[in-house]
Structure 1
Amino acid sequence: MSLLRDQILISIFMIYSLVRLANNPEISLIKDELSIKILF
């Protein structure tokens, strides 16, 4: 059950990251790397 939840969270995070990348590539890349380090 938690594995499914984790996959859903990762999917949402990836979509969110792509949207932010589309909006502001340079700042988003830095923030996303920090977010990934916090999440994993």
Structure 2
Amino acid sequence: LWRVVEIDMDRVAEVRNIWPFLRDRRIESYKNLTKRYIFKP
């Protein structure tokens, strides 16, 4: 089930400061995973 939700960017920043592993992740390392699981028309 998918749905669109609003994101509180201030809360995101706060949580990233509390949980450094979310702040310090390297999103470019997920590139191959997105190719595998995101379907392109």
Q: Smaller-chain TM-score range?
A: 0.3 to 0.5
Larger Rg: 2
Return the TM-score normalized by structure 1: 0.36
Return the TM-score normalized by structure 2: 0.36
Q: Which has the higher contact order (CA 8 A, sep 6+)?
A: 1
